[in-house]
Amino acid sequence: MNTDATQMADERIKSESFATRLMRRPELGAIGGVILVTIFFLITADRTMFTLSGIMNFLTPAAQLGILGIAAAMLMIGGEFDLSIGSMVAFTGLIFGVLAVNMELPLILAIPLTMACAAAMGALNGYIVIRTGLPSFIVTLAFLFILRGATLVGLKLFSGGSTQLRGVRSAVEGDFLTPIFSGDAFGGLFRWLAELGVVEKFGSGMPKVPGIPVEILWFIGFALLATYILLKTPSGNWIFASGGDSNAAENSGVPVKRVKISLFMLTACAAALVAVITVIDAGSTDARRGFMKEFEAIITAVIGGCLLTGGYGSAIGAFFGAIIFGMVTIGLTYTNFDQDWFQVFLGGMLLLAVIFNNVIRKRVTGER
């Protein structure tokens, strides 16, 4: 009998290796998937995939998807879905395009206005979900259609009949905010490195990689911020609580409604950010932007370990989930497989990556 039980030491606890403690964190599980996928492509893909420029190449779509995926993960942890993300990208792209091109506003006004508009739509989504008690799946599904349709109508209106609104690049050229939302960062550094020969060059002497695409920086920044919020702030605690059991959370004094509405707003703003980045990058926006992105965002979150039932998951997991997804979609082009098999591979790799995650985690943490 242990009469010493008031002490912290507990004879009923086995010592745990560092690896076990590490793998116990849901976010780190997803790393297993990244490693597996990397190994697969190291073997099968053309070696250009893992040159600096190749890496930038698959990280760019991963970053855009990841920004959405992290927001979706936070919302899922909070117990809700947003199926209107993809349409929101198209819709806010239109808003931004109209503000920048048709209204000729500078970015310092156009971007906050776009964000405000997105936040308002997100709040509306959230308000309807909270007010009616309908599942967010069906409410945001309605907005998936509504926003997609509104984008088409709006585009035709503002472009004079076409489904594409152009001229964004020239409209924002020279704006002091443009480099923050488009193009490549650290250009000088890369040019210098190229001169030193550290970075590959084209024949013309220009570095093959002109810099780090800004969306990658946004992606990393957002992942860090989201992780900080989720793990280190009271709001993070509220998000987990709201998603874990909204009744219990409400009863314990968590302002569940406010939390959920804020999360819907956040998701919408993430969509707006992606819209701004892609619209400036592409110089145009069209009615099909963001098509199916809502599902990819949810996939990303789920690969990263989020539970569909809410209350569990991580932003870092979604970060790696986006990288896995980006790597698999782009990577197959680098291989010699017949491209007809693309979807079979995509599905197979996804399944393998998540199963691998799971096996590794169970093995290491000793769960049954």
Partner 1 sequence: MSDPIIHMENIKKHFGNVIALNGVTFDVRAGECHCLLGDNGAGKSTFIKTMSGVHKPTEGTISFEGRELSFDSPRDAMEAGIATVFQDLAMIPLMSVTRNFFMGREPTKGWGPFKRFDTEKANATTMEEMRKMGINLRAPDQAVGTLSGGERQTVAIARAVHFGAKVLILDEPTSALGVRQTSNVLATIDRVRNQGIGVVFISHNVRHALAVGDRFTVLNRGQTLGTAKKGEIDASELQDMMAGGQEMAQLEGSLGGTV
Partner 2 sequence: QDIVVVAHGQANDPFWSVVKNGVAKAGEDTGANVEFRSPETFDMVQMSQLIDAAVNQEPDGLVVSIPDADALGPSIQRAVEAGIPVISMNSGSDVAHELGAHLHVGQSEYDAGKAAGQELAEMGGTKAICVNQEVGNVSLDQRCEGFAEGFGNPVDVVPTQNDPTEVQSKVRAALESDPDVDTVLGLGASLVGEPAVAAAEALGRDDLLIASFDLSAGFLEAIADGKAAFAIDQQQFLQGYLPVTFLALNAQYGLMPGGDVPSGPNLITQDKAAQVIELSAQGIR
Interface with partner 2 (CB under 8 A): 45-46, 48-49, 51, 53-54, 57-58, 60-61, 64, 148, 151-152, 156, 159-164, 166-169, 202-204, 206, 208, 278, 281-284, 286-293, 329-331, 333-336, 339-340, 342-343
Residue number, 213 or 236, with CB nearest to partner 1: 236
Question: What is the end-to-end Cα distance of the chain in Å, rounded?
Answer: 29
Is residue 269 at the binding interface for its own copies, with CB under 8 A as the rule? no
> 293 Cβ partners below 8 Å, 6+ apart?
65, 68, 85, 86, 89, 274
Query: Radius of gyration of the chain from Cα atoms?
Result: 22
Give the angle 249-252-256 at the CA atoms, nearest 5°: 40
Please list, in sequence order, all residues whose beta carbon lies within 8 angstroms of the beta carbon of residue 117, skipping any fewer than 6 positions away.
Answer: 92, 95, 272
Burial of 346 (0-12, 13-18, 19+ CB in 10 A): middle
Nearest to 334, CA basis, from 51, 66, 63 = 51
Q: Counting contacts by CB under 8 A, is residue 224 touching its own copies?
A: no
Q: Which of 35, 113, 150, 229 binds its own copies (CB under 8 A)?
A: 150
199 touches which of its own copies, partner 2, partner 1, none (CB within 5 to 8 A by kind)?
A: none
Residue 142 contact partner, candidates partner 1, its own copies, partner 2, none, CB within 5 to 8 A by sort of partner: its own copies
Q: With binding defined as CB under 8 A, does residue 18 bind partner 1? A: no
Q: How far is the CB of 257 from partner 1 (least distance, A)?
A: 8
78-117 residues in contact with its own copies (CB under 8 A) are: 81
Q: Which residues of 204-243 are buried (b: 16+ CB within 10 A; e: fewer)?
A: eeebebbbbbbbbbbbeebbeebbebbeeeeebebbbbbb
Supply the minimum distance, in Å, between the C-beta of residue 98 and partner 2: 15
- In whole angstroms, the minimum distance from the beta carbon of 155 to its own copies comes to 9
CB 86 within 8 A of CB 270: no
Q: Residue 25, exposed/middle/buried by CB under 10 A (0-12, 13-18, 19+)? A: middle
Write a three-state SS string for 186-229: CHHHHHHHHHHCCCCECCCCCECCCCEEHHHHHHHHHHHHHHHH
Output the smallest distance, CB 294 to partner 1, in A: 25
Q: Looking at 303, 322, 323, 327, which residue binds its own copies (CB under 8 A)?
A: 303
Rounded CA-CA distance 123/143 in Å is: 12
DSSP state, 99? I
Q: Is 365 in the site for partner 1 (CB under 8 A)?
A: yes
Q: Least distance from C-beta 39 to partner 1, angstroms?
A: 28
- Is 132 a binder of its own copies (CB under 8 A)? yes
Residue 202 interaction partner, one of its own copies, partner 2, partner 1, none, beta carbon < 5-8 Å per kind = partner 2
Q: What span, in angstroms and rounded, lies between the C-alpha atoms of 271 and 65?
A: 10
Q: Which does 347 bind (CB under 5 to 8 A by kind): partner 1, its own copies, partner 2, none?
A: its own copies
Among partner 1, its own copies, partner 2, none, residue 139 binds (CB under 5-8 Å by kind): its own copies
Binders of partner 1 among residues 285 to 344 (CB under 8 A) are 311-312
Give the burial string for 103-124 (b: 16+ CB within 10 Å, else e): eebebeebbeebbebbbebbeb
Instruction: Return residues touching its own copies (CB under 8 A).
Output: 81, 128, 132-135, 137-139, 141-150, 152-153, 156, 298-299, 302-303, 307-309, 340-348, 350-351, 354-355, 358-359
Instruction: Return residues touching partner 1 (CB under 8 A).
Output: 1-3, 5-8, 10-16, 20, 228, 231-234, 236-238, 240-241, 244-245, 247-255, 311-312, 365-368
